Structure 1
């Protein structure tokens, strides 16, 4: 096939960019202050020469950059401030302090004013190199005029120029890759940006395999089931590159989850949780500073392994921890509340203990979207976000139990959220509204099938799958219960195993080795009379659940089919 037109030019540009040589330093950089490119206290190897004359300030700066590449923002900020305290004229120290205020892949609000204050302390002295001025000019664009998305795109263009002007500068390459990821957006253009970022980061990773940013951004760029295999080497190394950073220990789990490597995902998140707990204890921080995101992902992996008791214990840990969060820090409270809600909802939906929904989910989270001390628009938006997993799980459980009134209450609440005007400046609000809309369809379809309204349930699920297929999958299902998996289960109950099998296949394509999808696919194959496929799927399920809690009905189902199949073969 011959590519022509803009698409051909795009891939030609990609090829040119990723084949640019990337060497550790240029002759110009080598003339600057020594960078001491040693391992930065278990944060990875970073070589970033600057014009400061203080070796001590430079050492703090390097550690700050290393922490920045692993998104360990509190530590990075401490190091950059330590550098400028030693050398008050250290321009790149203030550059680092500004960089810390932007979390390009986390979706939380940018601390624009704090960054501008840091940049205002920079004095453009003659000692500054042309390269340093380029970095400072680029970050000034990031915190300039306009809305956040336009500034993200402008910053990416500015970093592209630095990258092209300094093709031997590893830091320019990696910060450009990160800028691409941070401005990617949705659709084909977003996918192309992520592909380009992955290629750039992969090139650096091939040449500098101990650089934290290289491994980190490779993982983010290929965080989808189609491309995850490209990042497996980076995932296997990243935790060893920067073992001090909790996020570096967690990030490999993104690839492990995409590939259905559940034991590895558990180990990765356990290491991240323990590292964050140790950091909090050693530094006397509030327990709210622990990495609860890793706790949530660890629970999800345990659920896929049939380790329900372990998953329940982690939910209990989260519930007890959140009760002790400072009440005068609304953002922290809401963030923790959302993780708690997701963990409770996931536990209920994965274990399907519908009759125990109220005990598992507990009462509504005591969060208010009204006025509260220290609350702002973004905090109120997060408060809304924190409620949605519980609302959905309660509604789905009610539908499964044929409680139409309770199911409708959840549908009404989710519809209100889907129409919430909320600030579009926060990317998660758009996703929240879309997710709430899907959740209403899933609850309504589940209620229809429970009431024997097969055709109505199927029509609703067809609408839901059309919406979800328009977006690429990434990480654990954002709405707790994957659409194609639920559709497959509904089709089985409607007596249509052939159609169900197709949806379970799609579910496994989007979220490989999900336990419920494997089990559903095996049941569909059995009902279709495809004994070979059923045996393959049940065998895979048994292998995945080899350390599952004993006496689980799902495991017994798989083992019984396996034994019957073996008995038939012997006869």
Structure 2
């Protein structure tokens, strides 16, 4: 798939890559947000009275708001436009159009298009004071200042709408979303703001249990391992409220994953894929496949995970070769899936088999984005770093000299990396590169028998990971640092220290299979029989659907048999 290197082509690639990679990020779940959602799809129900004269315009408007609540932005935009086609002087229709250009939790905002929509808004006697309040708030969202400042100003304006109209559940729901959209990485008040948003959404859901927006925003507010339990009822309800909204099928898995509920996490993604697998290739939610693959890996369902991975090149082959947007999207997802599979299964011989074709097919594309100025250069570099990391870890495991080559490549990338967060990832590229380099070096040292050096290097990597909070979804570092440090400490004959590292790993990523297994081994080697039995039993229960014959299952069964519990 050739790519020219003209300045025009490079700029074009950057544009499509920013769109598609963001759509593949931690907070985004469709290659084309809202694409493929039928106008008749069941997305839930709300009550949002307006001054619309006709029932049809009101119905279109309300349908648009419902679509907004599940981030079906294309459908929402279409409904709002149809409402204003019916009634060109229906001002709330233009409010909705402007709102559809603000994909706040996905980090995308088409400010120019939104401001154009707002030029249609005129004051008049038909507008109610409540509608004027909504219109004033959205004008703050697209007013003066940078996006972060405008997001905060909009949240303040929506707070006033809520205060002035305490019975307006839509105002409360959109205020909760505005608060979530105002949070930035590193914000010291970020957690408090998320908790406030969650409390508001919970209150809306208490008053209206079937509200799709409130139920949805509860999941985003509590999407971390410490608070996810508060969102479990909403996670169980969202897909029932909006059964044909793709985001409603995917989003509960955020909470299930945070709680280590792997069967539930897998089933939600399976339902979404079943809904989409026969859709046109470009409308399928391949981000969903990565989450499903990760859930399968945590259950030891390696054959099923590999089958998902094999769908990616097949999908790429079925798509028009000149669609660079799809190439960027599928490269990001395919790379993440391949790296996760190799690292989780320890099947290091597959690293070259899966990574080399990706580099061959998309290397020029990624290189073009890396050379183009823009906020999403880092994401292209992240993709390249995963290629290097996968090959480097495989080489380090085999004590191959190629490991040092990969370490040097990552170090060279570090020297050119910025300190800003990767959009959709939540980590600065610099920290990702340092951790990847330290992990390869630690495994390489361990392969040479230099275990003290390996442990020291991994302790530095773990300190870097600890400087950021746990992130939603499959870990972008692929191999969590505390888990690897625990494994190296076990190799070094230091099980008590290893046990603490596995405990730390499980606090950040609940019920990860490798961390559970490591914790069981660490307890067993210390003679902590009861803890070891309990942890091995948890692992075996988690792997009850695993492939037959895996050595981890045999190890677990042997220990439990020896202790008389199996």
Residue 299 of structure 1 aligns to a residue whose secondary structure is helix
User: d(CA) in 2 for partners of 1:360 and 1:343?
Assistant: 10
Q: Equivalent residue for 1:208?
A: 208
Regions of 4+ moved over 6 Å: 422-425
The C-alpha deviation readout for 1:325-361, integer Å capped at 9, x for no partner, is: 4555544432221111111111101110112311133
- 2:343 corresponds, among 346, 349, 363, to 349
Q: Equivalent residue for 1:23?
A: none
Q: Equivalent residue for 1:149?
A: 148
Residue 475 of structure 2 aligns to a residue whose secondary structure is coil
Deviating more after overlay: 236-245 vs 477-486: 477-486
Q: Equivalent residue for 1:546?
A: 544
Residue 539 of structure 1 aligns to a residue whose secondary structure is helix
Report if the CA contact (8 A) 2:486-2:501 is conserved: yes
Q: Equivalent residue for 2:430?
A: 433
User: d(CA) in 1 for partners of 2:516 and 2:297?
Assistant: 13
Relative contact order, CA 8 A, sep 6+: which one is greater?
A: 2
**Aligned residue-pair number:** 521
Report if the CA contact (8 A) 2:486-2:498 is conserved: yes
Q: Equivalent residue for 1:293?
A: 287
- Within 5 Å, which residues of 2 pair with 1:146-225? 146-185=145-184, 186-225=186-225
Report if the CA contact (8 A) 1:325-1:333 is conserved: no
Residue 121 of structure 1 and its aligned partner are, at CA, apart by 2.2
- Within 5 Å, which residues of 2 pair with 1:468-507? 468-473=465-470, 474-507=472-505
**TM-score, normalization: structure 2?**
0.87
The C-alpha deviation readout for 1:233-257, integer Å capped at 9, x for no partner, is: 0000100000010110111111111
User: d(CA) in 1 for partners of 2:311 and 2:443?
Assistant: 31
Report if the CA contact (8 A) 1:248-1:272 is conserved: no
**TM-score, normalization: structure 1?**
0.86
The C-alpha deviation readout for 1:99-145, integer Å capped at 9, x for no partner, is: 122222223x3222121222222222221122222222222222223
User: d(CA) in 2 for partners of 1:391 and 1:223?
Assistant: 30
Residue 73 of structure 1 and its aligned partner are, at CA, apart by 1.4
Q: Equivalent residue for 2:299?
A: 305
Residue 468 of structure 2 aligns to a residue whose secondary structure is coil
User: d(CA) in 2 for partners of 1:370 and 1:348?
Assistant: 24
Residue 539 of structure 1 and its aligned partner are, at CA, apart by 1.0
Report if the CA contact (8 A) 1:174-1:213 is conserved: yes
Q: Equivalent residue for 2:252?
A: 252
User: d(CA) in 1 for partners of 2:474 and 2:499?
Assistant: 21
Report if the CA contact (8 A) 1:277-1:290 is conserved: yes
- 1:403 corresponds, among 379, 400, 404, to 400
Q: Equivalent residue for 2:17?
A: none
Q: Equivalent residue for 1:134?
A: 133
User: d(CA) in 2 for partners of 1:73 and 1:398?
Assistant: 44
Q: Equivalent residue for 2:88?
A: 88
Q: Equivalent residue for 2:533?
A: 535
Report if the CA contact (8 A) 1:326-1:333 is conserved: no
1:417–1:129 distance in 2 versus 1, CA, 3 Å: farther
Report if the CA contact (8 A) 2:65-2:96 is conserved: yes
User: d(CA) in 1 for partners of 2:496 and 2:419?
Assistant: 42
Deviating more after overlay: 181-190 vs 251-260: 181-190
User: d(CA) in 1 for partners of 2:223 and 2:300?
Assistant: 24
User: d(CA) in 2 for partners of 1:263 and 1:528?
Assistant: 31
Q: Equivalent residue for 1:22?
A: none
Q: Equivalent residue for 1:522?
A: 520
User: d(CA) in 1 for partners of 2:81 and 2:386?
Assistant: 39
What runs of 5+ residues in structure 2 fail to find an aligned partner?
1-38
1:126–1:403 distance in 2 versus 1, CA, 3 Å: farther
Residue 61 of structure 1 and its aligned partner are, at CA, apart by 1.2
Report if the CA contact (8 A) 1:134-1:162 is conserved: yes
1:266–1:415 distance in 2 versus 1, CA, 3 Å: farther
User: d(CA) in 1 for partners of 2:467 and 2:81?
Assistant: 44
Deviating more after overlay: 149-158 vs 412-421: 412-421
1:460 matched to 2:457? The reply is: yes
User: d(CA) in 2 for partners of 1:96 and 1:425?
Assistant: 30
Residue 178 of structure 1 and its aligned partner are, at CA, apart by 0.8
